[in-house]
Amino acid sequence: MTSSLRAIFFDLGGTLFSNRDIPRVNTPALIEAGQRLGVEQGFGEIGLAFLQASRAVNDVYMRRSYYLHRDHFHDTYRAFAKTFDRVASDEFVEWFYEAQRSAMVEGLRLRDDCVETLRALREEGLTLSIVSNIDDDYLDGMLRNLELKPLFDYWISSESAQSCKPDARIFEIALEQAGCGPREAIFVGDSRIHDIQGAAAIGMETVLLLEEGGGSHLDDASFEVEPDHVISSLSELLALVERRAAS
């Protein structure tokens, strides 16, 4: 028997805002990074090198139950520079981190239906929480600039939890914050591995937000479970919650 729904947990990146916006906000920093390294290749090659470096580093970090994203990003910058036979100095790495963080925090925008959907869910009396794989300096800035705090009851970063999705601990802490059990909550995210597999492992109902054209850049073919529901827009959650209430 399905328990009554009390809470909905949301991933942040790729869920409340689209990952398709990330190249737009990151391009200026990436161009300047190439200039600072003295790279002569065009932006297409620079962008591809950064993507490949990010994927290679992600493959290493994904095997860990916890890590600081600052370390992940730093290693990505070093791998990116090495692609062009350059050495990333500590000064370059720190500059790149701050440039990218500022671009992400200040440049990203919520999905068009995000605020309206969250307000409607709150009117239903549901507890809303953000559960994000990110460090506090990113999450705090995004909560502020995206004006998300009034729309959520709780939020948790992987840094504060000392646990990165799909590790169970970050989900357990989120449930403790909301004061509910796994069967009383729904998890909404865009990553089959981080969000769906992680939440399902502790017994939560799962919703995959799948944009047209493919899934999360964080995923590969190693996911082990399918989501309970698939949506293409956040507003579809309202009908899902209504059906849950009627069951």
Three-state SS string over the chain comes to CCCCCCEEEECCECCCECHHHHHHHHHHHHHHHHHHCCCCCCHHHHHHHHHHHHHHHHHHHCCCCCCCHHHHHHHHHHHHHHHCCCCCCHHHHHHHHHHHHHHHHHHCCCCCCHHHHHHHHHHCCCEEEEEECCCHHHHHHHHHHCCCHHHCCEEEEHHHHCCCCCCHHHHHHHHHHHCCCHHHEEEEECCHHHHHHHHHHCCCEEEEECCCCCCCCCCCCCCCCCCCEEECCCCHHHHHHHHHHHC
Q: Does residue 1 sit within a domain?
A: no
Is the domain of 33 the same as that of 12? no
Count up the domains in the chain and report the number.
2
Q: Does residue 79 sit within a domain?
A: yes
From 77, 107, 137, the end of a domain falls on 107
CATH number of residue 202's parent domain: 3.40.50.1000
Is the domain of 94 the same as that of 162? no
Residue 221 has pLDDT above 90, yes or no: no
Q: Does residue 2 sit within a domain?
A: no
From 107, 139, 169, the end of a domain falls on 107
Stated pTM of the model: 0.93
- The region of weakest confidence among 131-140, 181-190, 215-224 is 215-224
From 87, 107, 127, the end of a domain falls on 107
pLDDT digits (tens, 9 = 90+) for 1-58: 457 999 999 999 999 999 888 889 999 999 999 999 999 999 999 999 999 999 999 9
pLDDT digits (tens, 9 = 90+) for 125-153: 999 999 999 999 999 999 999 999 999 99
Give me the pLDDT at residue 246, please. 82
Q: Does residue 100 sit within a domain?
A: yes
Is the domain of 77 the same as that of 140? no
Is the domain of 172 the same as that of 69? no
